[in-house]
Amino acid sequence: MAADTFRQALDAKALARRRQVEQLVQLSRSTIYANVKAGTFPAPIRIGARAVAWRLADVEAWLEARPLASATV
């Protein structure tokens, strides 16, 4: 049981860099940052002087909360 708890803690702290986020959400860099500015996308956290990353759990929650596109157009 302790291994499961440890794994959950690691998953909750997992980070994704910008290119990984772009691939995951299928949005461009400029669209991601525009949505961050608008407050509609999770903000990145600073991980270094010139580096940011997103909490993977936040991005996954954002994806799950998005309405699905209609199958019929």
The predicted model scores a pTM of: 0.77
User: Which DSSP state fits 27?
Assistant: -
Q: Where are the domains of the chain?
A: 2-65
Residue 11: strand, helix, or coil: helix
Is there a contact between 21 and 12 (Cβ–Cβ < 8 Å)?
A: no
How high is the pLDDT of residue 68?
Answer: 74
Per-residue pLDDT of the chain (73 residues; tens, 9 = 90+): 566 665 655 566 899 999 999 999 999 999 999 999 999 999 999 999 999 999 999 999 999 998 876 555 5
pLDDT of residue 13: 80
* Per-residue pLDDT at 10: 58
Cα separation of 33 and 44, whole Å? Answer: 9
